[in-house]
Structure 1
Amino acid sequence: MQIYKLVFEMNEKKEDASKGIGVSKDKIEVQEDLGKRIGTKVVHAGESINPLTRGITTNIDFSTTFAYDIADQWADVFYHGKPGFAYSRHANPTRTTFEKKIAILENGEAGIGFSSGMAAISTVFCTFLKPDDEIIVTDRCYPGTRHLLNQYFKEWGFKVHFVDATDIENIKAKITNNTKLIYMECPANPTLSLCDIAEIAKLAKEIQAKFVFDNTFATPINQNPIDLGVNIVVHSVTKYLSGHSDVLGGATVSSADERAEIMNTAVYFGGVMQPFDAWLTIRGIKTLELRVNRHTKNSHAIAKFLEDHPKIREVYYPGLKSHPQHQLAKKQMRDFGGMVSFCAGKSDKDGVDFINNLKIIKRATSLGSTSSLIQASGSMLYLEFTEEEKRSIGINPGFVRFSPGIEDKDDLIEDIDQALSKI
């Protein structure tokens, strides 16, 4: 408890919060010569030719510490935020390349690489909140985020309001003088419901609250929340950004000043991204547009198939005209994303029986992988929720969350069809 108390006390002194050891406020440089379009940016953004070897791929620098000829040079980097590297918890060359790349893709000023998505989220909360502050959160959010807020932040003296964010009036109803942060996901996990990002951003600005947004499901390929007024974007890098189920990581993108504040907390909490994970993610991002386009194409085809299937009661996909927020999706997204949720059969048992009969699609948590991943949400990730809690956030009997991979869509549809025939 003492380390959290120290951080929260520091947050009361905002003029000091961004003056941590070795924290830079530098903005990323815009690399106009490396292309303006997203398909080019994912390949080249944040990277450069190695001046010594002329190699075109980013090197992995595993160094934890960095030596200087003169002690004062080291001190300038470590204590005064001068360009360079002193200790890898503060900054590492490979992680810095990833941070530049994700900031450019999200149209932000600066980024931070974390050891997981939860490390990114918890560090942001600990940076900008103190006891007695209030936070408004979408009730359709990742269970890990909900658990963090319910089990820890409430205990530390924060007031957390979970709301149905599909209607902005529900957010307005919870605003008080102590509201300091609004946290949203869109499309939301796992129901793929939407919130009006631009309107919530206006509201957050009016009340001088930070607007923090999880863009994991949409990715920078399909949506750029900062362009719509969001202050801080968070990602689970584990998902689409790295894309191959072999990286555990997270990220934030924000203004340079906000980055300095978040990094000052991250340095002492220590949950920063490791060099090898940064390198794998840099490599993964190079195919991000290709992969996300394939995920999206597969998801749209599967959603249409499911919509007409007699054993499917409900389909949740923003790209379907039947989705209640289809028009909002068209307004704020470039495409509709790679996730599909649906209710199979009439009960949770039907949902479990369905996924147990799949052959190609893997029964596993997580998402955004080259391999298709599926879970019966009511009986897997939300097992600890009461029936009332599950229904209140849209998880109905037989609810299934599906992350189609990049396999051939017809093979996936055939696998789904044969599994449905057995329930």
Structure 2
Amino acid sequence: MQEGRHASFEYGRYGNPTTKCLEDKMSALERAESTLFLASGMCASIAVLSSLVPKDGHIIATTDCYRRTRIFIESELPKKGISATFIDPADMDSLKKALDENNVSLFFTETPTNPFLRCIDIKLVSELCHQNGALVCIDGTFATPVNQKALTLGADIVVNSGTKFIAGHNDVISGCVSGPEELIAQVRKFHHLNGGVLDPHAAYMVLRGMKTLHLRVQYQNSLALRMAQFLEEHPKIIRVYYPGLPSHPEHHIAKQQMTGFGGVVSFELIGGLSSTVKFIDSLKIPYLAPSFGGCESIVDPPAIMSYWDLTPSERAAYGIKDNLIRFSFGVEDFEDLKADFAQALKAV
């Protein structure tokens, strides 16, 4: 095999036929030359950050992002001498300044972001970064390749948490990295050493889920948009965060680069933590869990889940208020969910 006379899988950590089939399917979806599947979305992000940023390098990330990604950037990358600049997702002046003042290797961001669903202009950011020799990695987990194909907009790498919409059934953990073979080969080399392997049965589970990906996502797009509109008009909702609403700060960007706006809506309820708890406890349909993208709706209050270990003032630094709720819509009936929301809001 190593002489190149025939192809096979030398060792289970280096791949298997089921995972290879999954990777090929994801490459077709993302319009990528190559895809690597790993044990989780976080594993995929770490593999990119560890393999594509050199020692003493510099990265740019956004202030709104998955908390564990931020923790890795702030606590682990400095051990390799890697520094970071965090910018507001819409602040292109800060991006230009960071690119001018640092030898930037990589711009890493989600779009839409977690949990405020901010949107980055992928085409513009890619042009600015490429002019300065920096790569662009987009975490497209909230969008999925059904709604957004970041590589066609200029990004170099796309990361997805396959745990969420890709697999879509809240029953398997996975992650992937897609892009040109030249870059994926570097990530794969790190992955072979790191060993965050997706086992064949998990790969099969993701493949099974992907058969209905476009159907689920299209329905969840519709459901989330209708519910976001309902919530925005409700007197007990202070603010709704959803790229499909004209009130969203990057609605114009989302319209340009997305064919649908995703199945997750974040919103702020009147009152404080007690009102939030009362609302969530009154809901009958969703599960209370720290995930999204499955067939079952999931409600997640970030202040007491993802950010539970921080003080209110520390949470406030990230914009996380006690009344913030992130809601992932499943595939339930719209009228059922609307009625559930309405009765739960009456309890507040």
Q: Bin the TM-score by the shorter chain.
A: over 0.9
> 1:88-103 to 2 correspondence within 5 Å?
88-103=12-27
| Rounded Cα–Cα distance in structure 2 between residues aligned with 1:152 and 1:248 | 23
Alignment of 1:203 onto 2:156: no
Question: Which structure 1 segments of 5+ residues have no match?
Answer: 1-73
Aligned match of 1:229: 154
Tell me the number of residue pairs that the alignment of Structure 1 and Structure 2 aligns: 347
Question: CA offsets, 1:133-177, max 9 Å, x none?
Answer: 111101111111011112211233211212112121121222234
Paired AA for residue 335 in structure 1:
G
- The answer to whether the 8 A contact 1:223-1:332 is kept is yes
Question: CA offsets, 1:69-114, max 9 Å, x none?
Answer: xxxxx3335xx9x633221211210000001010110011000010
Aligned match of 1:76: 3
Paired residue secondary structure (2:176):
strand
Paired AA for residue 379 in structure 1:
I
How far apart are residue 384 of structure 1 and its match?
2.6
Aligned match of 1:377: 302
Question: Which structure 2 segments of 5+ residues have no match?
Answer: none
Alignment of 1:152 onto 2:76: yes
Paired AA for residue 200 in structure 1:
V
What's the RMSD between the two structures over aligned residues? 1.4
How far apart are residue 380 of structure 1 and its match?
1.5
> 1:19-418 to 2 correspondence within 5 Å?
74-76=1-3, 83-175=7-99, 176-418=101-343
Larger Rg: 1
Paired AA for residue 319 in structure 2:
G
Paired AA for residue 212 in structure 1:
C
| Rounded Cα–Cα distance in structure 2 between residues aligned with 1:393 and 1:177 | 24
Paired residue secondary structure (2:105):
strand
Paired residue secondary structure (1:155):
helix
| Rounded Cα–Cα distance in structure 2 between residues aligned with 1:274 and 1:225 | 27
Aligned match of 1:16: none
| Rounded Cα–Cα distance in structure 1 between residues aligned with 2:91 and 2:27 | 30
326-335 vs 164-173, which moves further: 164-173
Question: CA offsets, 1:315-361, max 9 Å, x none?
Answer: 01111112122111111111111110000122132222211211111
Paired residue secondary structure (2:3):
helix
How far apart are residue 386 of structure 1 and its match?
3.9
How far apart are residue 204 of structure 1 and its match?
1.3
Paired residue secondary structure (1:199):
helix
| Rounded Cα–Cα distance in structure 1 between residues aligned with 2:195 and 2:312 | 37
How far apart are residue 197 of structure 1 and its match?
0.8
| Rounded Cα–Cα distance in structure 1 between residues aligned with 2:303 and 2:166 | 27
| Rounded Cα–Cα distance in structure 1 between residues aligned with 2:149 and 2:285 | 33
Paired AA for residue 169 in structure 1:
D
Paired AA for residue 33 in structure 2:
E
Aligned-pair identity in percent equals: 38
- The answer to whether the 8 A contact 2:54-2:105 is kept is no
Paired AA for residue 417 in structure 1:
A
Displacement over 6 Å in runs of 4+:
none
Paired AA for residue 274 in structure 1:
D
